[in-house]
Chains A and B, each alone.
Chain A
Amino acid sequence: MTLGTARRGGWLWPAVLVVSALLLAVAGHQLFAPRSVAADVPVSTTVEDPAGTPSATPSPSASSSPTARASGPRWTTRPAAPRPAPEVVPPERLVARSVGLDLPVVAEGVDDRGQMALPERPTELGWYRFGPTPADRRGAVVLAGHVDSERYGAGPLERAAGLEKGDRIEVRDRAGRTTTYAVVAVQRIRKADFSPDDVFSRSGKPVLRLITCGGPYEPGRGGYQDNLVVTAKRR
């Protein structure tokens, strides 16, 4: 009996020692290693454009002729009365099952620093309301959210880094219509390389861009140094 206790005591503390050391190593790495989100995602300098360079289609329109004389072009006319704004159907929800993301989407514009405005909570996505909707045939539907917030802590968007080529992303709009996308690229783009006109593209093939922050977190240099940009094309 005493032998048993002694024996148990014999392996108990070395075991505690080993487990503790392991905990210390793992947690210590988490705490003191350079802080980073989506560190496994390779860094790119240009955002993926699945459309590529569109093949030049010859345009037979009269306006393409620089030598058109005043009498050359065919003038088309239209009534100039004010027309009502076309109805816009905004996206309301994004679902990416492969990484367990199911987030509400709200319409957002531009903040006072000229950046895209985002919902305060990292559990919501903002849709750039001046850009295309999922129903539009051209351009990038931009959905973006905070990966974390001082007030609400870490959010689920960290998991977007786990998306892989071919993964499905579904976006449902206010009319109840679901548009399905397939991931074509998961990229980390340095904020210095961020090219607004490519990311928020209004033309080209219809794509979805899911954006959050990633890369090293450096509080002295404005926080996250990169954007995580997931580009998905319409299926």
Chain B
Amino acid sequence: MPTPARSRLIRGSLALAVTSGALLLPATSAQAADTATVSILHAVPGATVDVYANGEELLSDFEPGTLTDPQQLPAGTYDLKVVAAGDGADGDAVAELDDAEVPAGANVTVVAHLNASGDPRLTAYANDTSGLDAGQARLIVRHDAAAPAVDVRANEEVAFSGLENPDEDSADLDAGTISADVVLAGESDPVIGPADVDLKEGMTTIVYAWGSAEDDNLDLAVQTISGMGGNPGGVPGGSGGQAAMSSPLALGAFGLGLVGLVLAGTRMAARTRTARV
């Protein structure tokens, strides 16, 4: 029974997925053209679960706070269902997401998490894997915690403000390590962190806020996606031209030669004249 806000988000995510899939298509191989890259994050505290896709078991005994490595799945539409471990395909759903669109070439993370009021949800996020400039890293933050709107801070400065469950925000930044923490929107006492997050050059680093404020188990989860990096356009290895000019020495030698030539010439001319007289 999705709330209007939630169904709007899912549609939003799917639209995003389609967009990024289209962007990716020209760059991906023939194989990738009919598959998508899918990762699954378990961010519901306290429940070990099994995940089903279209009635088939995708993975079992999935622990909270763990992330799958990315898998290539055939592009298409998936009905996703999370049940308590061992309950089987027909077990009571902890969370469900029907008709999740996984477009060819897209990179998708499916997150099992709590909504703002603490109920388990599944959200499919499309990951932005567009190219980065040399030296840059992409940071994506996602609010998947049972908590009100938050600010995400980098090195104690607000980087993303007023983020609500289950929204995301992103920025391309200089690569490097940041100290990340999460505060309730407008406040300054961290409710999560600070934790050092390594923003690697050429990679997308996704930071998830998850858990429950009420149960005092808020935490950060991190996913990284590589392969977006660029390289410097060139090496500007010289500016002066002096190495090509071969120094004041050549200029001095040239002058010396000129003086010597003139001097010797006049002397010898003079001598010839003297000899003649």
What is the interface of chain A, defined by CB distance below 8 A to chain B? 9, 13-14, 16-17, 19-28, 30-31, 35-37, 62-63, 66-71, 73, 75-86, 109-111, 113-116, 118, 122, 128, 130, 144-155, 157-158, 191, 194, 196-197, 199-200, 202, 211-214, 216-217, 219, 223-224, 227-228
Is B11's CB within 8 Å of the partner chain A? no
Q: In the complex, what residues of B have CB within 8 A of residue A118's CB?
A: 235-237
Expressed in whole angstroms, the minimum distance between the Cβ of A24 and any Cβ of chain B is: 3
Q: Is the CB of B238 within 8 A of A213?
A: yes
Q: Is the CB of B72 within 8 A of A68?
A: yes
Q: Is the CB of A13 within 8 A of B268?
A: yes
Q: Determine the main DSSP class of A at the interface with B.
A: mixed
Q: Is the CB of B267 within 8 A of A75?
A: no
Closest partner residue, chain A, to B196 (CB atom): A84
Closest partner residue, chain B, to A117 (CB atom): B232
Docked Cα-Cα span, A13 to B267, in Å, equals 7
Docked Cα-Cα span, A153 to B239, in Å, equals 9
Residues of B within 8 Å of A, CB-based: how many?
A: 81
Nearest 8 interchain pairs by C-beta: A20-B260, A23-B257, A213-B237, A24-B257, A213-B238, A85-B198, A217-B244, A80-B221
A-B pair count, CB < 8 Å, reads 262
Pick the residue among A23, A78, A110, A148 that contacts B253 (CB under 8 A): A23
Closest partner residue, chain B, to A63 (CB atom): B72
Closest partner residue, chain A, to B134 (CB atom): A110
Contact with A along B70-98 (1 / 0, CB 8 A): 01111000100000000000000000000
Instruction: Tell whether A217 pairs with B66 under 8 Å between CB atoms, given A70-B53, A130-B175, A227-B235.
Output: no
Within 8 A of A (CB), among B229-258: 229-247, 250-254, 256-258
Within 8 A of A (CB), among B17-51: 31, 34-35, 40-41, 43
Closest partner residue, chain B, to A191 (CB atom): B234
Docked Cα-Cα span, A3 to B234, in Å, equals 68
Q: In the complex, what residues of B have CB within 8 A of residue A227's CB?
A: 234-235, 237
Q: In the complex, what residues of B have CB within 8 A of residue A80's CB?
A: 41, 43, 65-67, 208, 221-223
Docked Cα-Cα span, A144 to B236, in Å, equals 9
Docked Cα-Cα span, A113 to B41, in Å, equals 38
Closest partner residue, chain B, to A21 (CB atom): B261
Q: In the complex, what residues of A have CB within 8 A of residue B271's CB?
A: 9, 13
Closest partner residue, chain A, to B43 (CB atom): A80
Q: In the complex, what residues of B have CB within 8 A of residue A19's CB?
A: 257, 260
Q: Is the CB of A17 within 8 A of B265?
A: yes
- 20 A-B interface contacts by CB (under 8 A): A13-B264, A16-B264, A24-B261, A26-B253, A27-B254, A66-B31, A68-B72, A71-B53, A71-B58, A75-B68, A79-B67, A82-B180, A116-B236, A149-B240, A149-B242, A150-B240, A154-B240, A223-B238, A224-B238, A224-B241
Instruction: Tell whether A35 pairs with B245 under 8 Å between CB atoms, given A70-B56, A130-B135, A149-B239.
Output: yes
Most buried by B among A75, A148, A158: A75
Q: In the complex, what residues of B have CB within 8 A of residue A223's CB?
A: 236, 238-239, 241
